[in-house]
Structure 1
Amino acid sequence: MLKLYFLISVFFITTTSIAQVDSLLVLARNNKDKKQYVTAFKYYYQVNTLLKKEKDLKNLISSYIETASLCNEWQVYNQAAHYFQKAQEVLNELSPKDLSEKTIFLTLKTAKAHENDKSYPESIRMYEKYLNLTTGQSSNSEKQEALSNLANLYNLQNQYKEGLSKNLEALTIYEQIGNTTSQATTLNNIGFGYKKLQDNSKAIEYFEKSIALQNQQGLKNKSDYRTVLINVAILYQAEKNFSQAKKYLLEAEKSLNADVSAKEFEKADIFDLMSKTYFYSGEIEKAEKYCNQAIQNSIKSGNLEAKKSAHETLSLVYATRNQNNTALEEYTHYKKTSDSIFKIRLAYQDEILRRKQLSEEVENELKLLQAEQEMKTLDLKNFTLNAEKKEQAFKIEQQQKNLALAESEQQRLAEQARLSSLLIERQRQESVLQQQALDLAQQTNRLREAELQNAKIQQEAYNTEQHRKEEILLRDKKLKEIELQNEIETRKNQQILFLLIGGGVLSFLGLAIFGYIQKRKDNNRLKKQKKIIEETNVLLKEQRLEILEKNDELNSTNEELSSAIETISLQKNELEDKNRSILDSINYAKRIQQSLVPSEETFQKYIPESFVLYLPKDIVSGDFYWLYEGENFVIVAVMDCTGHGVPGAFMSMIGANMLDKIVKEDKILVPNKILERLDLYVKKAIENENHQLIDGMDGVIVLWDKINKELQYAGAVNSIYMIKNQGFEEIRGDVYHIAGVSFEEDVMKQFTLHTIPITEPTTIYMASDGFQDQMGGEKRKKFMTKKFKQLLLDNHLLKMSQQKQLLLETLHEWKGNIVQTDDILVIGMQL
């Protein structure tokens, strides 16, 4: 009866599964049209499961393709690629002869899905596979598009030679079929490739060909035409040929004004580029004009990149004019716009990640439900068999348990007998040992009593001998005292007699000599006093005359001093006003600098066991630190800029801004590559023609990979200090500074990447040179690096907050009343 029920149930489920496919497909497509992507995905998954179960491979391929198309529309591109590949896998099970066109179709779709997901290496692989599959076939729009996309992907991967090769191949095809519009676009792309390969003459040649072709076709007022003009202008601008750059930009502006369909977004980009060209060529007024136009167009169109760039250029314009407050306001706008762009990108990435996670969660949920359903079916199918197996297994298990219990009981009895034997032997040995210990104790007591008796007899003999010796000594001492007393009394009597006789004689002689000497002294004293009085009278007369003359001079000098004091007072008031204005500007700069540097609380949010000791010498600082948190990693930079105060602060703001651009916009995350790009950007930011560059910065950049437990580090002059297992290690940076060389040399620096596995608790320290260079101590010398490193090693086991406090106390004790020498920055992290 049970088996009959099973067969009926299987037949019913199979029939129901086949009937469900059409209705589930309708539901999936309706929800897709309504953009209810999660619900549609669930229905498609159920369709795929049923078709796979029934081995309906042709319909399963179609269903997988529809599922992939849904994921494309949903912007979950990794899942789209996954389902296109699953369709290909099922297709491979069928005869490939009749379905070769579908293989080509799926390969192209998979390549595009990987491209949209930014999985560029995989996308390149699939595009190359697609082109191989279509070798020998006539060219079509899809093949031409694939070539262009592949060229672009190679460029995105910095494989410019491969990209150029694909663009040249595409150009040949466009020339063969006579597609002049695509020819013009591809000529521009080829020019871009040559520019990236630093063959500027070739780049200009192909750009000019593109421009000429578009002129022939009457496309002068189109966006693609302006794109080529801008590319040529950028190339000339990089070569500092500003006159040629302006020529092409003015042509682009002319085309822009003639094109009624031109978008505000494009206008913002072109005006922003023109403002930069005019600024770097020294035409400040025109630079300001185009900056303002770019800002207006960017606000209308929402072009945040152009708005950010224009505010940055406008800040430099005002700084050139020494309008510092206005420059700082523009810089604040630039910073806010940059932060907005970063937040938008981050939000977009978060949304894509959320969709990916949601699709995976839905798929896992459906897999779980499917597994539960299969388990129920399997339970029904195997119910009878399992019951029999369980009964048989239960009997075998019981027999094994009984056998095991018997063996266990035998082992327990044998172990008990062995333990009893051991216990009896142990008790016997303990009894023997106790008797031996008792005998030894008695013998020891007898020896101790004999030793005490012997010692008592020796002590009594010694005491008797000592008593006898003391009596003899006492008798001899009394005899000597009596003899000494008699001798002293005899000598006393003799001395008294001699003193009485000598005293009388000396008294008489003394009186006579004293009277003579006293009289002689009185006479000499009277003569000297008389002479002094005469000389003093003469001197007083001379001094009186001099005082009268000096009174006249003082009266004249007083009048001159009164006039000078009044002048100085006016100058003092003027200087105080200027100083107040300068301080206001510096304090405003301080607020901007504080907005760029994360607080210690923010720092500890990402690295909890850490401290930041940040002590500017003046109101603003030339030292700064910078922080960026990515997915499962944190990047920290500690930089020491040239100088301190306002010049140093200006460099620090440039540095922080450039680090934002490198990491957040250029997506460069490797420390040594960050330093190389920072060196390039800082040079460009503070470039001054025919001037030897002395401004720059030193510093370190570390990346803490939380997943792989790995620290990456690169340094420009400065080192990091690492302590683990009580061992101190200094990892030195390269000898290069950031900037600090002439632009004519165009030095391309290569910084070293150090990779350190963190397999045990490790403390890392990063610092500028301010602490080590602080003057102080008894000899008023520098603190020195050696002493600083020993200080870190001696206290690295303390809590981070305690280490910071100890560094502060040590610094104050060392410098005493001496002013702070330089900006001070020390960061500690326990990983």
Structure 2
Amino acid sequence: MHPEDLEAVEAQQTNLFENGHHVAEYRFRKADGVYCWVSDEQTLIKDQNGNPLEVIGTWSEVTARKTAEQAALQQSEQRLTDAIETISEGFSLYDAEDRLVLGNRKYTELFDFGEGPPAPGSTYEEIIRKAVAHGLVADANGREEGWIRQRLAEHRNPGESGLQRQADGRWLQISERRTETGGTVAVYSDLTEVKESEQRAAAANQLILQSLRYASRIQSAVLPARRELEALAADHFLIWEPRDIVGGDFFWFQPIGDGYAIMVGDCTGHGVPGAFMTLIAWGLLDRMLRSAPSDRPSEVLVGLHQGVQSLLGQDAMHGDTDDGLEAGICFINPRKKQMTFAGARFSLWRANQEGVIEIKGDRKGLGYRRYPPGTNFNDYSFPFDSRDSFYLTTDGLIDQIGGPRGRSFGKRRFQDLLRKLRDTPMREQEESLRTAFDRYQGEQHRRDDLTVLGFVPHS
């Protein structure tokens, strides 16, 4: 018997006495010294008491079959090797003792530090330690032993794919899994281009964020200082939260003839486009307020409408843009205790002991092509006293989706909140409104910019 086959055949011989039948195939040396393959089939004969009597066996030469099987196996292995070599990723197979069985050229190149690729039979720990010792793994620099322990643990108990940075700047994604025989198969994918693209995108995103933050400082600087509202109102709160750092919502307060003006607007879009629209509105607004009659806020809306249409070329029937804004403006005369409101698709909310009412503006926007240049707006005048609170809000509050049914916050919910909060200071009202809004929004994304202005006029 061939010496390489003897140990295995002897170890399997007990099968004959356990099963009563056994077949072994091994190489046997003929008289001419040439080895052939034989199939040794044995049957155990027992007496009537079940005791072994004898073994009847037959030998058959199976050299041709075994040679064909080995040739087919070698051909199959060669096809597998050829297929593995054609893939663009590194591929390796380790046996149950963690020794390298197979590694394609892409894989062996990763661990070639000038002495040739890792030899089959080398353990994974031997290979990885040599790679770290020769500085091939950038992630291991400065913490070699700790990194090796971590990598071996990941290799022996594979889970999620991991990233490894090489000394030559490449990024490798390592995906490992256990085989049914207890070995490990691994695929090494080169993600360098992906990582570099991510880094370029992150750098570009950072530059955009820096620009937006700078633009936000400019937008905040252009808006009137909130302390100016303290001089105009007995009590107030202001929530102004652009969805995307800068936005299309704005607020304005300015002294006029015999009182002062308070305004909230919502321009088309949000983010940078909305912010550009607010710049256009501000430029027009200052001029309109200086020349408007102190009892006609509607004249300011007319001026904004015509100014936006003219600047954007939207006073013609056709064009590339159709942008505008919605706004509500209050002219307040403290001496007469009188307020005049005009709104373009905007409402003013009034809260007092009698309840909460909505004073609706006109159902017309400002600047859009569908409204002719001669569009007019209505003024609503009424007296007020120290028990009155007023609120202006953009649709970022009303239209926000949330709640258990995924519906909008809505006017009724806003009105109910104002009714509950009307006797509390404005600062407490702001906190309660923020809490209610955040709770209602929940996990939903913010749909629009948010502006809510509440104030009690000096009486």
8 Å CA contact retained: 2:228, 2:253: no
Aligned to 1:686: 312
Q: Give 1:552 shift.
A: 3.4
Deviations 1:280-306, CA, capped at 9 Å, x for gaps: xxxxxxxxxxxxxxxxxxxxxxxxxxx
Q: Give 1:644 shift.
A: 0.7
Aligned to 1:613: 239
**Counterparts of residues 374-385 of structure 1 (less than 5 Å):** none
Alpha-carbon distance in structure 1 between the residues aligned to 2:275 and 2:381? 31
Q: What SS does structure 1 have at the residue aligned with 2:284?
A: helix
Unaligned runs of 5+ in 2: 1-18, 20-71, 91-105, 107-170, 173-188
Scaled by the length of structure 2, the TM-score of the pair is: 0.57
**Counterparts of residues 481-500 of structure 1 (less than 5 Å):** none
**Counterparts of residues 547-696 of structure 1 (less than 5 Å):** 549=80, 552-553=83-84, 556-558=87-89, 565-630=191-256, 632-664=258-290, 666-669=291-294, 670-687=296-313, 690-691=318-319, 693-696=321-324
**Does residue 1:812 correspond to 2:435, yes or no?**
no
Alignment CA distance shift 1:802-1:552 (3 Å): same
Alpha-carbon distance in structure 1 between the residues aligned to 2:367 and 2:333? 28
Alpha-carbon distance in structure 1 between the residues aligned to 2:297 and 2:84? 74
Alpha-carbon distance in structure 2 between the residues aligned to 1:557 and 1:782? 51
Alpha-carbon distance in structure 2 between the residues aligned to 1:746 and 1:771? 29
Deviations 1:418-453, CA, capped at 9 Å, x for gaps: xxxxxxxxxxxxxxxxxxxxxxxxxxxxxxxxxxxx
The aligned length equals: 288
8 Å CA contact retained: 2:248, 2:267: yes
8 Å CA contact retained: 1:604, 1:611: no
8 Å CA contact retained: 1:672, 1:753: yes
Amino acid aligned to 1:704: I
Alignment CA distance shift 1:671-1:546 (3 Å): farther
8 Å CA contact retained: 2:264, 2:392: yes
Alpha-carbon distance in structure 2 between the residues aligned to 1:547 and 1:727? 87
8 Å CA contact retained: 2:351, 2:357: yes
8 Å CA contact retained: 2:245, 2:271: yes
Deviates most, 573-582 or 751-760: 573-582
Match of 1:723 among 351, 368, 391: 351
Alignment CA distance shift 1:683-1:566 (3 Å): same
Alpha-carbon distance in structure 1 between the residues aligned to 2:310 and 2:379? 24
Alignment CA distance shift 1:571-1:607 (3 Å): same
**Counterparts of residues 428-443 of structure 1 (less than 5 Å):** none
Q: What SS does structure 2 have at the residue aligned with 1:700?
A: strand
Q: Give 1:608 shift.
A: 2.8
Amino acid aligned to 1:714: A
**Counterparts of residues 16-415 of structure 1 (less than 5 Å):** none
Question: By percentage of residues, which structure has more helix?
Answer: 1
Alpha-carbon distance in structure 1 between the residues aligned to 2:438 and 2:78? 53
Deviations 1:775-808, CA, capped at 9 Å, x for gaps: 2222232212211111111111111000000011
8 Å CA contact retained: 2:292, 2:299: no
Aligned to 1:705: 333
Q: What SS does structure 2 have at the residue aligned with 1:624?
A: strand
Alignment CA distance shift 1:546-1:588 (3 Å): farther
Alpha-carbon distance in structure 2 between the residues aligned to 1:680 and 1:807? 35
Q: Give 1:825 shift.
A: 0.6
Amino acid aligned to 1:628: Q
Q: What SS does structure 2 have at the residue aligned with 1:778?
A: coil
Alignment CA distance shift 1:589-1:687 (3 Å): farther
Ranked by relative contact order (alpha carbons within 8 Å, sequence separation 6 or more), the top structure is: 2
Q: What SS does structure 2 have at the residue aligned with 1:575?
A: helix
Alpha-carbon distance in structure 2 between the residues aligned to 1:789 and 1:554? 71
Q: What SS does structure 1 have at the residue aligned with 2:327?
A: strand
Deviations 1:509-560, CA, capped at 9 Å, x for gaps: xxxxxxxxxxxxxxxxx9xxxxxxxxxxxxxx99xx7998499358614169
Q: What SS does structure 2 have at the residue aligned with 1:684?
A: helix
Q: Give 1:668 shift.
A: 4.7
Alpha-carbon distance in structure 2 between the residues aligned to 1:550 and 1:727? 83
Deviations 1:257-314, CA, capped at 9 Å, x for gaps: xxxxxxxxxxxxxxxxxxxxxxxxxxxxxxxxxxxxxxxxxxxxxxxxxxxxxxxxxx
Alignment CA distance shift 1:673-1:568 (3 Å): same
Match of 1:735 among 340, 343, 363: 363
Q: What SS does structure 1 have at the residue aligned with 2:230?
A: helix
Amino acid aligned to 1:716: A
Alignment CA distance shift 1:695-1:551 (3 Å): farther
Alpha-carbon distance in structure 1 between the residues aligned to 2:338 and 2:300? 18
Q: Report % sequence identity.
A: 26
Q: Which has the larger radius of gyration?
A: 1
Aligned to 2:421: 795
Q: Give 1:772 shift.
A: 1.6
Alpha-carbon distance in structure 2 between the residues aligned to 1:714 and 1:564? 63
**Does residue 1:750 correspond to 2:376, yes or no?**
yes
Q: What SS does structure 2 have at the residue aligned with 1:728?
A: strand
Alpha-carbon distance in structure 1 between the residues aligned to 2:254 and 2:427? 22
Alpha-carbon distance in structure 1 between the residues aligned to 2:410 and 2:82? 58
**Counterparts of residues 756-795 of structure 1 (less than 5 Å):** 756-759=382-385, 761-795=387-421
Alignment CA distance shift 1:757-1:608 (3 Å): closer
Alpha-carbon distance in structure 1 between the residues aligned to 2:408 and 2:87? 51
Amino acid aligned to 2:361: G
Q: Give 1:652 shift.
A: 1.2
8 Å CA contact retained: 2:89, 2:190: no
8 Å CA contact retained: 2:230, 2:236: yes
Q: What SS does structure 2 have at the residue aligned with 1:738?
A: coil
Q: What SS does structure 1 have at the residue aligned with 2:443?
A: coil
Q: Give 1:582 shift.
A: 2.3
Alpha-carbon distance in structure 1 between the residues aligned to 2:191 and 2:246? 34
Amino acid aligned to 1:698: E
Q: What SS does structure 2 have at the residue aligned with 1:819?
A: coil
Alignment CA distance shift 1:572-1:723 (3 Å): same
Alpha-carbon distance in structure 1 between the residues aligned to 2:78 and 2:279? 65
Amino acid aligned to 2:398: Q
Amino acid aligned to 1:629: P
8 Å CA contact retained: 1:622, 1:823: yes
8 Å CA contact retained: 1:611, 1:827: yes
Q: Give 1:634 shift.
A: 1.3
Alpha-carbon distance in structure 2 between the residues aligned to 1:668 and 1:653? 24
8 Å CA contact retained: 2:356, 2:418: no
8 Å CA contact retained: 2:341, 2:380: yes
Alignment CA distance shift 1:580-1:711 (3 Å): same
Amino acid aligned to 1:591: R
Q: Give 1:691 shift.
A: 1.1
Q: What SS does structure 2 have at the residue aligned with 1:752?
A: coil
Q: What SS does structure 1 have at the residue aligned with 2:269?
A: coil
Q: Give 1:818 shift.
A: 2.5
Amino acid aligned to 2:331: L
Question: By percentage of residues, which structure has more strand?
Answer: 2
Q: Give 1:766 shift.
A: 0.6
8 Å CA contact retained: 1:624, 1:640: yes
Deviates most, 641-650 or 586-595: 586-595
Alpha-carbon distance in structure 1 between the residues aligned to 2:311 and 2:240? 26
Alpha-carbon distance in structure 1 between the residues aligned to 2:271 and 2:350? 30
8 Å CA contact retained: 2:256, 2:289: no
Amino acid aligned to 1:770: G
Scaled by the length of structure 1, the TM-score of the pair is: 0.33
Tell me the C-alpha RMSD between the 2 structures.
3.0
Q: Give 1:576 shift.
A: 3.1
Alignment CA distance shift 1:547-1:683 (3 Å): farther
